[in-house]
Chains A and B, each alone.
Chain A
Amino acid sequence: MTIDKDTVEHLAKLSRLHLSDNELLSFTKSINEILEYTKSIQQVNTEGVLPAIHALDLQNVFKEDEVINYKYIDKLFENAPDVENHSFKVPRILTN
């Protein structure tokens, strides 16, 4: 299976990336090479084999739904590119 430029462009849109023409070409080529390389796993007989979600068998971890107040909210906002009154400020969401 190979993927074409249009598919990579669509993937870029889904993952909120804007690719230059050069990037589009080079990613299409390298992603195809990688997918081609992974083809050998299709030959492995996995009938009846459960997929491993994790390396170890993990169990659900439950904890009380407690409110823990965070003291350094101002510090968190210091990392934000744009802030107004303890809110993250972004460009318009609805456009014409």
Chain B
Amino acid sequence: MNEILKLSATEISEKYKIKDLSCSEVTKAFLDRINKTNPELNSFVSVSEKSAMETAKIVDEKIAKSQKLNLLEGVPIALKDNMCTNGVATTCCSKMLVNFVPSYDATVVEKIKNNNMPILGKTNMDEFAMGTSTETSFFGSTKNPWDINTVPGGSSGGSAVAISALQAPLALGSDTGGSIRQPASFCGVVGMKPTYGVVSRYGLVAFASSLDQIGPFSKNIKDSATLLSVISGYDAKDSTSQPNIKTNYTELSEPKEIKIGLPKEFFANLDNKTKELYKNITTKLSNEGIIFEEIDMPSLQQGVQTYCIIAPAEASSNLARFDGVRYGYRNKEAKSLVEMMELSRSEGFGAEVKRKILLGTYVLSSGCYDIYYKKAQQVRTIIKNDFQKAFSKYDILLSPTTTTPTFAFGEKSNPLEMYMNDIMTIPANLAGIPALSLPCGIINNLPMGLHLMGNILEEQKLFSIAKKIEQILGFNLQNPYWEK
């Protein structure tokens, strides 16, 4: 095992500063690791060896000349395959987009490139980010390094595995209902979803536009905060982008008094092992002076139901653009335009994508709109208000990220069962608040995550508290795959 692989992103940055490591050496180490482990894990769907090494060379020239490096300059990164990369296939792991090569960069990709961070490749995901296990990818499922018979979670499963299996020190994912935090929890790494609008969605292939948000995967909180500092900021190309926001989260001060709310609804239906794990954690944190209080937030029980209406509604509208005309898969035999669109969409989309389109079309149709869509949006307001009330009393809220550790391939075949994997994470998307998953313990030799939710635009506070908790808990990231 090359010791470079174990370094955190900020440790790599420090080593560049003192010329202890070259960027080419680091980039090569991660590329070698990908080449060695990807045939089994299938976490990357494409690897950009040549361009990554070219970027590394530029950084090494700067290091040689003792020039000041940008934030995370030269630290390699992996990107989920739903972020447009100029000249590199961006497939959303769908047959529909297998041959799609964007002619522009997503804003996050532009920022990564401006900071000379070598892009190692694109990571596997559930088709169009619709899933919680990475099993719906057109390119086959990704394996969890903690136990290769289990799923890595999803939809950003490839990015979570890239960190967990030491294939990359950093990765980006996208989170619509938990797609960063849930796989982070299943793979024992840190995954963070920022406040809605903190990171530009320009160039991110849309799933549910009012919920989608890009965020970082990393080994620790400091790396997460540093990467968010690189990718965040106002972008005129995204009309929902937050203006006038603070975008530097690199200085995390020691929080003084920490008051954390524990929503009862999130602890109600846990099995005994899980309950015990989180009880021990809150006891340990209480002993360090952190104050915990249980709170009632009954609207949280309606999170998944609300999401089950809003997300497909937005998806059905967003995915109307895939018609076989301007880009994407086309059926060549069709005799008329309508037949061509129907056959292209039917052959290009997988089952879960079709289900979301049909359901979304239904809840938006006349006669159903008020009962389903409008009602769900009203419940969304109530959920948002409940969070605001909670944050007037507490710094952050805490829950498990998932109710159980990861599960075996094929174990959950019913769609509803799959949606339940996001029961803890969905409310943060509905309310637009920042939230992260921090590895915190082990059940049946598999990692579990601690889900921390902060108030709107209070990333700084969330990271500071998370860092303190990380220090107290001291989770060991090492999994059996590190020895391979």
CB of B306 within 8 A of CB of A41, answer: yes
CB of B415 within 8 A of CB of A34, answer: yes
CB of A53 within 8 A of CB of B416, answer: no
Q: What distance in Å separates the Cβ of A22 from its nearest Cβ neighbour in chain B?
A: 10
Q: How far is the CA of A7 from the CA of B308 in the complex (A)?
A: 19
7 new A-B contacts at CB < 8 Å, known A44-B382, A91-B335: A19-B354, A33-B414, A46-B379, A51-B378, A51-B380, A54-B432, A90-B337
In the assembled complex, which residues on chain A have CB atoms less than 8 Å from the CB atom of B355?
Answer: 27, 30-31
B375-403 to A contact mask, C-beta < 8 Å, 1/0:
11111111010000000000000000000
Q: How far is the CA of A56 from the CA of B213 in the complex (A)?
A: 13
Partner of B103, one of A35, A72, A81: A72
> 23 pairs across A/B with beta carbons < 8 Å?
A15-B316, A15-B361, A16-B342, A17-B346, A27-B354, A30-B416, A33-B414, A34-B419, A38-B308, A41-B375, A41-B379, A46-B375, A46-B379, A50-B378, A52-B377, A54-B196, A55-B210, A58-B239, A72-B104, A79-B326, A81-B325, A82-B330, A91-B340
Q: Which A residues between 74 and 96 are near B, CB-CB below 8 angstroms?
A: 75-76, 78-82, 88, 90-93, 95
The chain A residue sitting closest to B103, CB to CB, is: A75
The chain B residue sitting closest to A26, CB to CB, is: B351
B80-105 to A contact mask, C-beta < 8 Å, 1/0:
00000000000000000001110110
In the assembled complex, which residues on chain B have CB atoms less than 8 Å from the CB atom of A35?
Answer: 359, 362, 372
Partner of B354, one of A23, A40, A41: A23
Partner of A49, one of B320, B325, B340, B381: B381
CB of B382 within 8 A of CB of A49, answer: yes
B112 within 8 A of A: no
B309 within 8 A of A: yes
Q: How far is the CA of A43 from the CA of B390 in the complex (A)?
A: 23
Q: How far is the CA of A93 from the CA of B336 in the complex (A)?
A: 6
B226-249 to A contact mask, C-beta < 8 Å, 1/0:
000000000010011010000000
The chain B residue sitting closest to A44, CB to CB, is: B379
Q: What distance in Å separates the Cβ of B351 from its nearest Cβ neighbour in chain A?
A: 7
A1-13 to B contact mask, C-beta < 8 Å, 1/0:
1010001100110
Q: How far is the CA of A34 from the CA of B431 in the complex (A)?
A: 22
In the assembled complex, which residues on chain A have CB atoms less than 8 Å from the CB atom of B415?
Answer: 30, 33-34
Q: How far is the CA of A52 from the CA of B307 in the complex (A)?
A: 13
Which residues of B line the A interface, CB within 8 A?
A: 99-101, 103-104, 195-197, 210-211, 236, 239-240, 242, 299, 301-302, 304-306, 308-309, 316, 320, 323-330, 332, 334-343, 345-346, 349, 351, 354-355, 357-359, 361-362, 365, 371-372, 374-382, 384, 414-416, 419, 429-432, 456
CB of B336 within 8 A of CB of A44, answer: no
CB of B430 within 8 A of CB of A90, answer: no
Which residues of A line the B interface, CB within 8 A?
A: 1, 3, 7-8, 11-12, 14-19, 23, 26-27, 30-31, 33-35, 37-42, 44, 46, 49-56, 58, 61, 63, 72, 75-76, 78-82, 88, 90-93, 95
Q: How many A-B residue pairs have CB under 8 A?
A: 179
Q: How far is the CA of A91 from the CA of B337 in the complex (A)?
A: 5
Q: What distance in Å separates the Cβ of B229 from its nearest Cβ neighbour in chain A?
A: 21
Q: What distance in Å separates the Cβ of B383 from its nearest Cβ neighbour in chain A?
A: 8
Interface of B is mostly: helix
Interface of A is mostly: loop
In the assembled complex, which residues on chain B have CB atoms less than 8 Å from the CB atom of A95?
Answer: 335-336
Q: What distance in Å separates the Cβ of B180 from its nearest Cβ neighbour in chain A?
A: 16
Partner of A17, one of B305, B342, B430, B456: B342
Residues A23 and B351 in contact in the complex (CB < 8 Å), given A54-B240, A91-B334, A91-B337: yes
Residues A55 and B431 in contact in the complex (CB < 8 Å), given A31-B359, A88-B326: yes
The chain A residue sitting closest to B339, CB to CB, is: A91
In the assembled complex, which residues on chain B have CB atoms less than 8 Å from the CB atom of A93?
Answer: 336-337
In the assembled complex, which residues on chain A have CB atoms less than 8 Å from the CB atom of B354?
Answer: 17, 19, 23, 27
Residues A81 and B330 in contact in the complex (CB < 8 Å), given A19-B346, A41-B302, A55-B210: yes
CB of A3 within 8 A of CB of B379, answer: no
Residues A38 and B309 in contact in the complex (CB < 8 Å), given A27-B358, A53-B210: yes
Partner of B326, one of A3, A11, A39, A80: A80
5 closest residue pairs by CB, A with B: A55-B432, A51-B377, A81-B330, A75-B103, A46-B378
Q: What distance in Å separates the Cβ of A1 from its nearest Cβ neighbour in chain B?
A: 8
CB of A31 within 8 A of CB of B326, answer: no
